[in-house]
Each structure stands twice: as C-alpha cells, then as structure tokens.
Amino acid sequence: MSLAADARVLWSLLRGQQRGGDHASRLQAFYAPQAEQYDRFRERLLHGRAELYAALPLPEGARIAELGAGTGRNLEFLGARVAGLQRAYLVDLCPALLAVARRRWAEQPQVAVVEADACQWQPQEPLDAVVFSYSLTMIPDWRQAMANAFAMLRPGGVVAVVDFTLAPDQGAAARWFWRHWFGHDGVRLDPAHGTALRALLPAHQLSYHRAPVPYLPLHTAYYRFIGRKPG
Ligand SMILES: C[S@@+](CC[C@H](N)C(=O)[O-])C[C@H]1O[C@@H](n2cnc3c(N)ncnc32)[C@H](O)[C@@H]1O
C-alpha cells in the first residue's frame, strides 16, 4: 500500500476531529473526506474484527445489529452466513460512511442500513447479537450505548466487542502516548469499558492482543469480548 494511496486518510487523521458542533457533525466532518478510502486503510489498523465475527454464536435465522457499523464492511466477515440471517441492522450516525454501506449491501434485502444514534436506536424485535467494532471508544456516552445494546438482546443473546484499549501491562508512558494519539481523532481509550462490560455480562470471554499501527514502529493494544445475557 503506497503513501500516495493513503494520503487522504492520513491527512484526516493528522488534522484530527474538529472541536465545535455536535457529535454527529464532528463525525461527518472527520469521515466524509476519507470515506472512500476508509476500508482499505482500516484493514491494517482495526485488527480482530474477522475473528470476532467468526466467533459469534448465531442461530439459523439470526437477527443481529452492529452499532457504529460505518461502511458495513464487517458483516462480510460472516461470509456465507449472511444469507442465513433473518435481519442485520447496520446502525451509524455518519452519513458519509453509511453511503458506502448502502452501496455495499444494496442487493441483500435482509440488511438494513440505519442512520441513528447507538445510544437511542432500538430494533422492533429482540436480537441474537449486538456488535460494537471499534465504536465504543468513539461514543461519548458509551455507558448508555452498552445499556441500550443489552436492552436489544433476547435472553441468551450476546454483546460482542472489539476495540482499542490500554492493556494492563502497558507502562505509564505508553498509556499517555496512546491516550493522546487516539484522542486527537475522537477515540477515547478507557479501561472502564472492560470493567463495565464484565459487570454487565458476567458470562463472557475476554482476550487482549497487540497489533501494529500503519506507519508507526509501535504496537497498540486491543481486546475482544463476547458476553451472554442471562436467560
Ligand atoms: C472507528 S469507526 C468503526 C466502524 C466499523 N465498526 C468498523 O469496524 O470499521 C467508529 C464508528 O462509530 C460511529 N459512531 C460514533 N458515535 C456513534 C453513535 N453515537 N451512534 C452511532 N454510531 C456512532 C462512527 O460514525 C464510526 O462509523
């Protein structure tokens, strides 16, 4: 992948998220200039998404939602299982990324692309799984988004999360660096996410990982979490 091909994305990342306006307009201003290049660059930045989707315990005819789904790329990780879904909702607040998702899933009537806030949107029927892929860290009221996801699930359904974090074994300097590096782009690293998920869903699997960051000689930390609602 060449520097020239990544230039638009790198420029957006270096410029960072604007300060003024509401959350939705900040997301649109940040993502619109890079929406068409988003997927190619994030293949090298957002690790563990394929593994998370592969591990989703979905019944035949499952109903699922991804909250903060962006371009809808992650649903492709289900491969042939997409055809067996009863319903998949791709929910996001950013019109520029949702336009890519709509194009991508135009031929699949079971996939609904929804412009809405993950903290408030609710489906009409209980779901088997709700996924957050690198979105909890970008949702200011992430506790409300978690509670909202929990409320969407049928008893026995799962919340699945993959996201950046500050790993327990990272030193103070690394923690400071990653907090500020990601914070510039509106990504808020907070170990409280993991604490809250574990408390909300005591029956869970959780793993920590390290992964490279494009153009940096460093590795960042991310986690994968799948927790089952009692019932
Ligand atoms: C880093 S992107 C991840 C996109 C996608 N899940 C992926 O894995 O490529 C974070 C996404 O969260 C969305 N987002 C942030 N806050 C949101 C909110 N309150 N409601 C819905 N989506 C939100 C952003 O618009 C963006 O698409």
Name the percent of the chain lying above pLDDT 90: 74
Q: Is 92 in the pocket of ligand 1 (CB under 6 A)?
A: yes
Q: Percent helix, strand, coil in the chain (nearest 5)?
A: 40, 25, 30
Tell me which of 71, 77, 135 to substitute to probe ligand 1's pocket, judged by most ligand atoms within 8 Å of the beta carbon. 135
- Write the residue with the smallest CA distance to atom 8 of ligand 1: 133
Name the CA dihedral angle for 52, 54, 56, 59, rounded to a multiple of 10 degrees. 170
Q: Quick one: angle between helices 142-152 and 192-200, nearest 10?
A: 20
Phi, psi of 205 (to 5 degrees): -120, 135
Comparing 33-37, 39-43, 158-162, 214-218, the range with the smallest average pLDDT is 214-218
Confidence class for position 168, pLDDT limits 50, 70, 90: confident
Tell me which of 13, 75, 93, 185 to substitute to probe ligand 1's pocket, judged by most ligand atoms within 8 Å of the beta carbon. 93
Between these two residues, 216 and 46, which has the higher pLDDT value?
A: 46
Comparing 72-76, 108-112, 122-126, 180-184, the range with the smallest average pLDDT is 180-184
Find, among 200, 119, 220, 115, the residue nearest to 160 by Cα.
200
Query: Mean pLDDT throughout 40-52?
Result: 94
- Please give the mean pLDDT across all residues of the chain: 93
Angle at 196 between CA 194 and CA 198, to 5 degrees: 70
Contacts of 114 (CB under 8 A, 6+ apart): 89, 90, 91, 92, 121
Q: Is 101 in the pocket of ligand 1 (CB under 6 A)?
A: no
Q: Is 52 in the pocket of ligand 1 (CB under 6 A)?
A: no
Token pair, residue 229, equals: 């609602």
Q: Is 134 in the pocket of ligand 1 (CB under 6 A)?
A: yes
Q: pLDDT digits over 55-99, tens only?
A: 999 999 999 999 999 999 999 999 999 999 999 999 999 999 999
Q: pLDDT digits over 9-45, tens only?
A: 777 778 888 778 899 999 999 899 889 889 998 898 9
Residue 60 CA to residue 81 CA, distance in Å, equals 9
Q: What H or E segment, with its residue span, contains residue 25? A: helix 23-31
Which numbered atom of ligand 1 lies nearest the CA of 73?
9
Q: Is 133 in the pocket of ligand 1 (CB under 6 A)?
A: yes
Q: Are strands 127-133 and 63-67 parallel, antiparallel or unpaired?
A: parallel
State residue 99's pLDDT score: 98
Distance (angstroms) between ligand 1 centre and the Cα of 15 equals 18
| Domains of the chain and any CATH numbers | 45-228 (3.40.50.150)
pTM: 0.94
Contacts of 9 (CB under 8 A, 6+ apart): 34, 37, 38, 41
Contact 65, 152 (CB under 8 A): yes
Which numbered atom of ligand 1 lies nearest the CA of 27?
25
- Bridge partners, residue 160, by sequence: 131, 226
